[in-house]
Amino acid sequence: MAASASSLLAAPASSSCGAISPQLPRGAPAAASVASPSRHSCYLLRASPSRRHRSRFVANAAPTMQPPAESRVSTVVDVDLGDRSYPIYIGAGLLDEPDLLQRQHVHGKRVLVVTNTTVAPLYLDKVTWALTHNNLNVSVESVILPDGEKYKNMDTLMKVFDKAVESRFDRRCTFVALGGGVIGDMCGFAAAAFLRGVNFIQIPTTLMAQVDSSVGGKTGINHPLGKNLIGAFYQPQCVLIDTNTLNTLPDRELASGIAEVVKYGLIRDAPFFEWQEKNMPKLLAREPNALAYAIKRSCENKAEVVAQDEKESGLRATLNLGHTFGHAIETGTGYGAWLHGEAVAAGTVMATDMSHRLGWIDDSIRKRVVDILKQAKLPIAPPETMTVEKFKNIMASCKPKGRGRRN
Ligand SMILES: NC(=O)c1ccc[n+]([C@@H]2O[C@H](COP(=O)([O-])OP(=O)(O)OC[C@H]3O[C@@H](n4cnc5c(N)ncnc54)[C@H](O)[C@@H]3O)[C@@H](O)[C@H]2O)c1
């Protein structure tokens, strides 16, 4: 059975604004800081001779495939969803390893890589090589979408379908998402809908996508009135995280991803939060071990939540901490003006402040949240243009009817 990690704070599933209540006694220090990943004894970690870690949330886990022993994969996190289980491979240089994609996860002979105008010049050739090297059986085509949150819409999605239909892809093809969360969400939704569902692989290239959006199967597009309102739950075959892709990521995008890393610490992993408080300068300086650990712990936390509540009937809503306010900021300022993680950071401070005012947490926790987000150089307040009225209007128009979520 999957054990829950200790939390500094926890969002009650019923909390529509993602406000937070304490799991620890007020003012109590968070649990001891992380000396090594193996302190998380609730996971079964198995180190191979190549010192690879495998994290698995064990209830009735289906067997998943192993990468070759000489692989650059340093960590495998299994997302345990019965017959929809899949591995998250994490390591530096995984795109230089054709076997990983080819042997285990590409279905059929035809692959459509979905990417954008920024990522294509950086990584499309590499991915095409990884898919086709020594493999005459696979042909790769690509569709290069315009870059940006403002293009996460029906018109852009249609370009993926146009390409797949014009190229006569059939149901045995594989869609590969190469890019950040915008590409991952759109490609995943396209894979869910094309011919009622085709094989799908995530190759996330932003920190945001590596720690959050590529894992868990939420896919979709925005509506002018609200974020991610149109979509599907659709799980990939695998997630392949080559941490070297972060070398080309702009600093502002790196910081945006850190907002979601902080979230895991707050909602369910106090030792991870304390580790971040001590190691934020290393994360911002892209120290490889620190980044690899943050990605691994984030994926483990997300995988554990998703394995327990895939379709968000309760626990998964904790992953939305700060997002109700954050999504309102993104919608209200125009998609793309604020990065997703920036809006989530300001939203997290608002949720924390609300929890404090409701008497659920004490001021020391609120201050720690503000401090860590400041350390990460993330915004800690919404823009002035977001008046109370504007928040209320947007949040009301996006609110789901009855039980349910909207992230
Ligand atoms: N599905 C989920 O569970 C989930 C979770 C969190 C966020 N999201 C969604 O993810 C999106 C945000 O994702 P994001 O922050 O990755 O934004 P993004 O996809 O817009 O990527 C950010 C920018 O970085 C560029 N880029 C990507 N990889 C790069 C690289 N390696 N080097 C240089 N530039 C690179 C992109 O082209 C883009 O300009 C939002 O739409 C959000 O709603 C979804």
Report the alpha-carbon distance of residue 236 to residue 85 in Å, rounded.
9
Average pLDDT over residues 81-103: 92
Mean pLDDT to the nearest integer, 363-369: 97
The burial class, CB within 10 Å (0-12 / 13-18 / 19+), for 285 is exposed
Q: How confident is the model at residue 403 (pLDDT cuts 50, 70, 90)?
A: very low
Question: How many whole angstroms separate alpha carbon 210 and alpha carbon 239?
Answer: 9
Confidence of residue 178 (pLDDT cuts 50, 70, 90): very high
* CA-closest candidate to residue 344, choices 270, 407, 268: 407
For range 207-213, the mean pLDDT = 98
pLDDT of residue 35: 27
Q: Considering the entire predicted model, what is its pTM?
A: 0.88
Residue from 185, 262, 291 whose mutation best tests the ligand 1 pocket (most atoms within 8 A of CB) = 185
Lowest mean pLDDT among 70-84, 264-278, 318-332, 341-355: 70-84
Q: Is 94 helix (H, G, I), strand (E, B) or coil?
A: helix
| Distance from the alpha carbon of residue 118 to the mean position of ligand 1, in angstroms | 11
Q: pLDDT value at position 3? A: 36
At residue 396, the pLDDT reads 87
pLDDT for 7: 59
CATH class given for the domain over 92-248: alpha beta
Name the CATH topology of 5-42+258-404.
Dehydroquinate synthase-like, alpha domain (1.20.1090)
**Mean pLDDT estimate for the chain:** 86
> 68: CA distance to ligand 1 center in Å?
30
- Residue with the two structure tokens 């712990």: 297
Backbone phi, psi, residue 370, to 5°: -60, -45
- Contact call for residues 93 and 311 (beta carbons, < 8 A): no
**How many Cα atoms within 13 Å fall on the side-chain side of residue 172?**
6
237 lines ligand 1 (CB under 6 A): no
Short-list 270, 271, 214, CA closest to 239? 214
| Stronger pLDDT, 199 or 398, i.e. the higher one | 199
pLDDT of residue 107: 87
H or E element, residue 238:
strand 238-242
State which ligand 1 atom lies nearest to the alpha carbon of 215.
3
Share of the chain above pLDDT 70, in %: 81
In our burial notation (b when 16+ CB lie closer than 10 A, e otherwise), range 132-153 reads: beebeebebebbbbebebebbb
Beta strand 226-233 with 218-223 is antiparallel
Residue 197 in this model has a pLDDT that exceeds 80: yes
Q: Whose CA is nearest to atom 37 of ligand 1?
A: 118
* Catalytic positions, written as ranges: 196, 218, 260, 302, 312, 316, 320, 323, 327, 340
Structure confidence at residue 73 as a pLDDT band (50, 70, 90): confident
Helix (H, G, I), strand (E, B), or coil: what is residue 229? Answer: strand
Asked whether 78 and 92 are in contact (CB, 8 A), the reply is no
DSSP sequence for 43-62: S-----TT--EEE---TTPP
Residue 179 CB less than 6 A away from ligand 1: yes
pLDDT at residue 51 in the model: 54
Using a 6 Å cutoff on CB, does residue 152 contact ligand 1?
A: yes
Give me the residue spans of the domains in the chain: 5-42+258-404, 92-248
pLDDT confidence of residue 52: 65
- Which tens digits make up the pLDDT trace of 308-348? 999 999 999 999 999 999 999 999 999 999 999 999 999 99
Residue at 27: amino acid letter: G
pLDDT the model gives residue 36: 30
pLDDT given at position 331:
94
207 in ligand 1 pocket by Cβ < 6 Å?
no
pLDDT at 192: 98
**Rounded CA separation 342/97 (Å):** 34
For residues 289 and 319, give the distance between their C-alpha atoms in angstroms, rounded to a whole number: 25
Per the structure block, which two tokens stand in for 139? 């042909």
Q: Is the CB of 323 under 6 A from ligand 1?
A: no
188 close to 214: Cβ distance less than 8 angstroms: no
Provide the pLDDT confidence category of residue 41 given band limits of 50, 70 and 90. very low
For 205-222, letters b (16+ CB in 10 Å) and e give: bbbbbbbbbbbbbbbbbb
The residue with greater pLDDT, 111 or 18, is 111
Using an 8 Å Cβ cutoff, are 319 and 262 in contact? no
Determine the Cα–Cα distance for residues 25 and 120; give it in Å rounded to an integer: 49
Q: 17-26, 63-72, 120-129 — which one is most confidently predicted on average?
A: 120-129
What SS3 class is residue 356? helix
Q: Do residues 106 and 131 make contact, with C-beta atoms less than 8 angstroms apart? A: yes
Question: What residue's CA is closest to ligand 1, atom 2?
Answer: 213
- Please report the sign of the dihedral spanned by the C-alpha atoms of residue 18, residue 22, residue 27, residue 28: negative
- Atom number in ligand 1 closest to CA 147: 37
